[in-house]
Structure 1
């Protein structure tokens, strides 16, 4: 009997159970809002990419031997310090110590200097200056040849060259030309005449410089009046006299020269008078 009662209770429980789908009975509004918020958080925004796929990707030093060689030499130039080959390979990411072809080209480069005693590599600059005295000596040597030195080139050889040039300029050892736009150092020349009271070359006093720059050049009319008041005349500019066109003289035409007649059929000479015209005679 107990088994029968349990079976009947189980059947009644099955009939009371709701097997409808959750789609037919949606959850409450609060549950819907929470589900929407969680789904929006789960969807991440795709980051915008500024990569232009039509352009080649930047691969750093590249894979071409000549490109890697140029990169290594430029790094040696900008560093300014002697470097071991292994350190240079690590710093640049270029296989200088493993690639034999690249290493031979690097050693044979005209700007690469190798010190066998220290096994260090350095860049060969146009000028080997490392102090102020050597810089002045190089400027003197170049000025004696009739030219100056580019400050940019000197800066590549020695980074402190511009500061040393400004000090030499204040000491009166060199002359410097600057750009008109921003006043940057451009060219440097050696001052052969040292500024002193005996030989000259001293800076003109500011009072005289102000007086000189305060002078104004008068216009053409006032300048002519001032010259006339002093009994002077303006110099006339030299004018070129135009040349008359060359014309041929008209004269009588010379008579044409008569060319001598060239006689042919010389084998008949002596038998027929070739100077006469012969006409066939009628029968």
Structure 2
């Protein structure tokens, strides 16, 4: 075999061993993947995600970060609790710096609904009525009724959660009167029943016979009522007559005749020559 033939055979064998696939279509080795940076599209997506994150918003603590908002939150929690509470417990339960923030603590102590007991170092909410049992509730209802009014059941419930149940018991015992809403029958106002349902107080219910007699009576109409009063020598009460005002009968736009006022004569030197009491009109004047 000539040298030219040997070179041709070696070239063909080299061509068979060569890999013609592009290196772009083949994934790089694992080590090269770890060393290569992430694609640019991934960086863009991550940057776009970071743009949507708002870092200026505080964490949602439930009580806000404003001092006045935190004050309202703490006072409302103290109101709903109904029991004296330590300052540290209020800070934990409300998630507010009430025990460390001097401004918040000063506003809290100065609140008109906050009561502080220096002996026990406890804070409590000052309700409109200090009632904690059925007897104290009845005493408060009696005091308010003597002043000429009743008590709101909602306000009493805020002072004492068991107030509605106690009011129902007092109503069944005949101690109080309760007004209710027409829509759902919920209790609205409560009044003290001064006349008890017993013989001594005179609050016994009227017998059925008298109730039937009362409801059997019918009020006659106006014409028959006047006739019946006249037959008994009576008359209906006259209604109060309304006296019209002076300017009530005048019509708008209607002018009244001018009044002639007495003229004071000052030209006394012409007296006897010209009648000054007459109005002189020049000839030809309209």
Range of TM-score over shorter length: 0.5 to 0.7
Q: 1:9 to 1:59 in 2, by over 3 A?
A: same
Q: 2:17 aligns with which of 4, 7, 14?
A: 14
Question: d(CA) in 2 for partners of 1:164 and 1:132?
Answer: 6
Aligned to 2:191: 189
Question: d(CA) in 2 for partners of 1:203 and 1:189?
Answer: 19
Q: 1:258 aligns with which of 256, 260, 265?
A: 265
Aligned to 2:221: 223
Q: Deviations over 1:10-66 (max 9, x none)?
A: 547437x7748999xxxxxxxxxxxxxxxxxxxxxxxxxxxxxxxx99763222211
Q: Deviations over 1:216-237 (max 9, x none)?
A: 978xxx8357658x84569486
Question: d(CA) in 2 for partners of 1:84 and 1:120?
Answer: 5
The count of corresponding residues between Structure 1 and Structure 2 is 218
Question: d(CA) in 2 for partners of 1:251 and 1:65?
Answer: 76
CA RMSD of aligned residues (A): 4.3
Question: d(CA) in 2 for partners of 1:75 and 1:202?
Answer: 47
Structure 1: 5+ residue runs without aligned partners? Answer: 24-55, 262-283
Scaled by the length of structure 2, the TM-score of the pair is 0.61
Q: 1:189 to 1:245 in 2, by over 3 A?
A: closer
Measure how far apart 1:182 and its partner are.
Answer: 1.8
Q: Secondary structure at the match of 2:221?
A: helix
Aligned to 1:148: 150
Aligned to 1:139: 141
Measure how far apart 1:192 and its partner are.
Answer: 1.4
Structure 2: 5+ residue runs without aligned partners? Answer: 1-5, 26-57, 251-255, 269-286
Q: 1:260 to 1:212 in 2, by over 3 A?
A: farther
Aligned to 1:240: 241
Aligned to 1:80: 82
Question: d(CA) in 2 for partners of 1:67 and 1:151?
Answer: 29
Question: d(CA) in 1 for partners of 2:12 and 2:215?
Answer: 122
Scaled by the length of structure 1, the TM-score of the pair is 0.61
Q: Secondary structure at the match of 1:176?
A: strand
Between 1:251-260 and 1:129-138, the stretch displaced more is 251-260
